[in-house]
Amino acid sequence: MKNIKISRKDHKNEMRLFLEFEYDKELIALTKSLPDAIWSQTNKAWHVPDESGMKNTLFATFKGKAWLDFTAINDTAAAKKSGNETVKTNAPRSALPELPENSNRKTEDFVSWMRSKRYSERTIKTYKESISLFLRYFADKPVEEIENRDLVKFNNEYILKNKYSSSFQNQVVNAVKLFFSKVENRQLDIELIHRPKREHRLPNVLSKNEIQGILKASQYNIKHHAMLSLIYSCGLRRSELINLTPADVDAERGLLIIRNAKGKKDRVVPLSQKTIILLRECYKENRTEKWLFEGWKKGEKYSDRSLEEVLKKSIKLAGINKPVTLHWLRHSYATHLLEAGVDLRYIQELLGHKSSRTTEIYTHVSTKQLQQIKSPFDDLDL
């Protein structure tokens, strides 16, 4: 049986689980299927988030394929003990008990209910992991006996104590609320877990010169160039680009059809002639079978992680020292449209926003009007 050594390390201020094993195509393919799996060139190993349910996910993914060696993690935990005194540290989520059989069955019922309501697979996965975490925390207590005060206990002794983010807290609260309402047919007073206020951060926007630098830097590979160009020129989300098929490109009318996007909505965005020409050239060199952009294996979608690596390489070649993500290209598209005088209502439709309030955030980062404001400092006689 193949062996995978697992260790816990801090990577860019985030705890990650590193998977070390000898080169093996099957293990690499399985690792790539893990959520947010990243290859570290420095450590020569793959790593995944050290988060709720990841240990169970690893066991399920590599079952029958490889042994998982957690010795390094266990030794690290033991090393934190000094004499009779134990150093107080935040316990990793994987330290919680396994999910009891009854709770596991109810969790699967929850998943079945969500699928029957056609929740997206991403939402199902997120909610399943969240409710599993909550029920593992109360593994010694039957689900039927969990009550309002347990919500307060979980919030104070697990979420707040371990300093988890407000978004994670809201995610768990939403999952717990839905689970008890639909599976247990009873309401818990969710308001007892005080929801943190949402952080309202401004979107990150690149200048047109920076966008041009990134896209020029990607010209070393026509497929990479076409993918990044399409994200910016149409304001696409990463998943929207990856799910495109050749049939979604209406070259005759100059339109791109985005199907089943966020919120299960279709929308149409204009395609520039420059983009159409680029897509034709890309297709001539990379004739795909099913998806507009495919990975190294015919018929398979281009992977999220590979797309991020494409952007990372282009940023480096362009000499841009900013933590640019693919979503920055979408933000930049919206902001540049606004600065060009496009009505906010049209931008809302192009981005697929349900509410105009979501789109209005770009008015706070547009510099067109701000640059015309004269500072009173300029009037001082200094």
Active site residues: 237, 262, 327, 330, 353, 362
Helix H or strand E segment including 4: strand 2-10
Please state, in angstroms and rounded to a whole number, the distance separating the CA atoms of residues 227 and 310. 9
How do strand 66-69 and strand 2-10 relate by DSSP bridges? parallel
Q: Say which amino acid occupies 302.
A: Y
Taking the C-alpha atoms of residue 88 and residue 310, their distance in angstroms, rounded to an integer, is 41
Tell me the Cα Rg of the chain. Answer: 24
136, 200, 123: which is closest to 166 by C-alpha? 200
Report H helices in the chain.
Answer: 25-32, 54-62, 71-79, 101-116, 121-137, 148-154, 166-182, 208-217, 222-234, 238-242, 273-285, 304-318, 326-339, 344-351, 356-359
Tell me if 216 sits within 8 A of 315, measured CB to CB.
Answer: no
Closest C-alpha among 88, 172, 112 to residue 136:
172
Residues 6 or more apart whose Cβ sits within 8 Å of residue 342 = none
Tell me which residue of 36, 52, 60 sits closest to 94, measured CA to CA: 52
**Could you tell me how far CA 190 lies from the centroid of its own chain?**
26
Helix pair 54-62, 25-32: axis angle to 10 deg: 140
